[in-house]
A and B are shown apart, each in its own frame.
Chain A
């Protein structure tokens, strides 16, 4: 069956995307400040605030509900901070204590006065994006079918983007270096509570449409994903917005697709699938990110270890040639201390790169290019040995292992500096230091 896209789908995705982006922009600062779980805590703790507002005003009007939830949100942030600071409770635990207690209070209020508040637990906790875009519409720019939740979330997105743009510098400095921020006259505490208030505001606005779980996912996952892709804050914010947007689209498509896996021709909770979509995007980025991805890391570590073994092999052959000895695989294995398999693969790689020739598979000689490369390595090694024995208290017979490690990370500039420092033609063991 082909997926049919209607105007309703557009509104669902647009509302989801507005919510996701409103959360993602704040999430960048939560992730950088290492208080990601504050979003989790606040969104759970809003429950009693919302229920209390219902009980007092007896209406589902947005304003009282909003004020009640905002109070609960700020109370959570303040209580958690107070418990940590004054009560000397572990930071994570203080958050956990506050939000579980408030959530429990909310559950009790809900079930005690369930009839009075006419509030569905399921709706409050999971959100019903699909139904919230129908019916409750407003007229805007001459269109009369614009869902109210979309307008609300778009407004929140605009507020969040506006405040982040206006206070960008202050937020940035206080996130990366609170001490510096304080010396510059920026009130870090104020920034913390501002961020918490915005998080509460966004959570409240998103509550009825998408439920807290999507809020938590969108606060944390897009920003964390962007953090794996870049080291620059503006780029990170832009990427997180983009990821949030795509997660909304993917999530809606997934919500229609998932039930078909079990043979149902129906759709499931869009909000839940949007949260799952962020997870999928995160997993892909975590594996494939060019700089901080898992595969890139493994690859870099592998190529570094390849380079070190290759350089060691070249060095051993060079020293053997100095002494008019013949370099054999046995010699390589014995000196480098790696398995025959590793040495064999490395030698093959070096032959392929035309740095080493091996006529009979038993002995190895350096080519001219290979000799030049090996010369630089041995030069680095002996310069380090000479430098260490001249300028440090390390005994001459103990400098080898240190030089063995440093030789792989020494470039020409450093070699020249070492040569100026040592001014010796020979290393501590009396061997000549090769010239470049």
Chain B
């Protein structure tokens, strides 16, 4: 009991670092995810995060071969992740624009081929003499507990920067999401804005890899904004709510994972987010299932009473 209170009140240094880091990550993902969702590119994060895996492995192998050790230097691995991640997004766009293959198949091709190549490289790494590849798995499933203060600060800086970019380019991003033809019409470069958005997504995904893993970081980009949509129709409000839901899920998940044994933090963060999503889906005041059912019932009643009036007038 004492431990529980210690953890929840953040008296423990390690817990404090982790909670601080994942909260920043959740907020950043929620913010960026809002625009990805509205741009109808929700699953682009899926392709991107899978495409980072071979980069991590290549960076690991190169370092291992060149320096003997040190292949687990985080900045090195994350640079590799960024390179193949961007390459992956580039391939999706290239396939979509230069062939007749649709975007969903293009994303599927990139994510499966890149990730498949990554697993093959991981197989190579496991056979390398004197290498410890155990750390690589934390990029797939995530390992919040391994987060140290400098990681948390990195995530925090990235989150602040993305928030700043979103604030500065708010009007442009809004235009991009709701009416890209109009944006083109008034002379804004849709391509440049798309690149900014994809860049933001790449950055938050790469820093999120280590915390929640490459499969579950997708969830942090998709679930909070989708949940926020049930509460409001205003973009600013959606982005704010989405960031809050992202941060809330991350903090709850990290705390639960710290208190309960054998609870992988990445997965529990996603489940908390999913819980918030289901709650919003049912009770959301704007587009929730209950709210819409009530609106429908009211409309029917109104229609019925109108019909009764008409009928009585007619008779």
Partner of A36, one of B37, B108, B115: B108
CB distance from B123 to the nearest CB of A (A): 3
Interface size for A (C-beta < 8 A) is 70
Q: Say which one of B69-77, B190-198, B213-221 lies at the interface with A.
A: B213-221
Given A107-B266, A107-B267, A126-B119, CB of A40 within 8 Å of CB of B113: no
Task: Given A262-B61, A264-B128, A268-B121, decide whether A37 and B43 contact each other with a Cβ distance below 8 A.
Answer: yes
Q: Which residue of A lies closest to B65 (CB)?
A: A262
How far does the Cβ of A293 sit from chain B's closest Cβ, in whole Å?
8
Chain B residues, CB < 8 A from A44: 215
Q: Tell me if A90 and B40 are in contact (CB < 8 A).
A: yes
Q: Across the interface, do A104 and B120 meet the contact criterion of CB distance under 8 Å?
A: no
Which of chain B's residues have a CB closer than 8 A to the CB of A380? none
A24 at the interface (CB under 8 A from B): no
In contact, B222 and A100 (Cβ under 8 angstroms): yes
Q: Does B111 contact A (CB under 8 A)?
A: yes
Complex contact B274–A101 (CB within 8 A): yes
B91-134 interface (Cβ within 8 A of A): 95, 98-102, 104-105, 107-109, 111-124, 127-128
B104 touches A35 (CB 8 A): yes
B249 to chain A, nearest CB (A): 11
**Would A93 and B37 count as touching, CB distance under 8 A?**
yes
A-B residue pair count with CB separations less than 8 angstroms: 215
Interface residues of A in 277-303 (CB under 8 A from B): 278-279, 282, 286, 292-294, 297
Contact mask for chain A residues 205-234; partner B; CB cutoff 8 A; 1 contact, 0 none: 000000101101101110110011000000
Give the number of residues in B that approach A within 8 Å (Cβ atoms). 61
10 smallest CB-CB distances across A and B, nearest first, come from A275-B116, A279-B113, A268-B123, A272-B120, A100-B219, A272-B119, A217-B112, A104-B270, A269-B123, A220-B108
User: A residues engaging B (CB < 8 A)?
Assistant: 31, 34-37, 39-40, 44, 83, 86-90, 92-97, 100-101, 103-105, 107-108, 111-112, 114, 121-122, 125-126, 211, 213-214, 216-217, 219-221, 223-224, 227-228, 254-255, 258-259, 262, 264, 266-269, 271-276, 278-279, 282, 286, 292-294, 297
> Can you list 26 A-B contacts (CB < 8 A)?
A36-B108, A89-B229, A92-B43, A94-B226, A96-B223, A97-B219, A97-B274, A100-B216, A101-B223, A103-B215, A103-B216, A104-B266, A214-B112, A227-B100, A254-B120, A259-B123, A262-B128, A268-B121, A269-B119, A272-B117, A276-B116, A278-B112, A278-B113, A286-B95, A292-B100, A293-B99
Q: Other CB < 8 Å A-B pairs besides A272-B119, A292-B99, 5 of them?
A: A39-B108, A92-B104, A101-B223, A269-B122, A279-B116
